[in-house]
């Protein structure tokens, strides 16, 4: 797969809970067959959600198999710039900055928060 992706929390939860349409599942299966990429924010959001033991184990295993991008100085600086330029919540700004710094497109159903950011690729799995 040529383009690399950063999976947002909502897309990950919908994928793992079986809520996505078949085309989106096929697409995400391809993305995940490469090593999946997530932000540390996604890790915090997903693992910080109270759920069943089985779901928690599934989520933890997925995170363990993923590349988790932390908060490098470059991501922090990009986040600050995005927050100054756009009306965007800090977690979404960190996810967008992570994608921009690492030349990744975001997979998210929450495109409203990201659509005004120039040069940011966004894939809504429900629109495939």
Residue 31 pLDDT:
94
Residue 107 pLDDT:
97
Q: What are the tokens at 63?
A: 């995170």
What's the CA gap between 115 and 76, in Å, rounded? Answer: 20
Residue 102 pLDDT:
97
What's the CA gap between 26 and 24, in Å, rounded? Answer: 5
CATH no. for residue 98? 3.40.50.1010
What's the CA gap between 35 and 102, in Å, rounded? Answer: 14
* Owning domain of residue 40: 5-127
The number of C-alpha atoms within 13 Å of 23 and in the hemisphere containing its C-beta is 6
Domain count, the chain: 1
Q: Tens of pLDDT along 18-50?
A: 999 999 999 999 999 988 999 999 999 999 988
Average pLDDT of span 88-111:
96
Helical segments of the chain, H only: 9-16, 22-33, 40-47, 53-64, 73-85, 90-101
Q: Tens of pLDDT along 48-98?
A: 988 889 988 989 999 999 999 999 999 999 999 999 999 899 999 999 999
pLDDT bin (cut points 50, 70, 90) of residue 2 is: confident
Instruction: Enter the DSSP assignment of 7.
Output: E
% residues pLDDT > 70 (the chain): 99
Instruction: Enter the DSSP assignment of 49.
Output: S
Average pLDDT of span 12-22:
92
For residue 1, is pLDDT > 70? no
103, 69 contact by CB (below 8 A): no
Average pLDDT of span 91-114:
96
């Amino acid at each position: 797969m040529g383009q690399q992706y950063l999976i947002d929390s909502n897309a990950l939860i919908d994928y793992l809970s079986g809520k996505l349409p078949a085309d989106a599942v096929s697409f995400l299966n391809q993305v995940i067959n490469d090593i999946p990429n997530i932000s540390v924010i996604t890790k915090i959001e997903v693992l910080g959600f109270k759920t069943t033991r089985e779901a928690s184990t599934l989520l933890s295993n997925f995170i363990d198999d993923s590349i988790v991008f932390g908060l490098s100085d470059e991501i922090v600086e990009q986040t600050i710039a995005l927050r100054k330029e756009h009306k965007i919540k800090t977690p979404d700004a960190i996810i967008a900055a992570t994608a921009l710094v690492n030349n990744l497109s975001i997979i998210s159903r929450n495109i409203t928060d990201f659509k005004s950011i120039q040069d940011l690729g966004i894939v809504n799995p429900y629109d495939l």
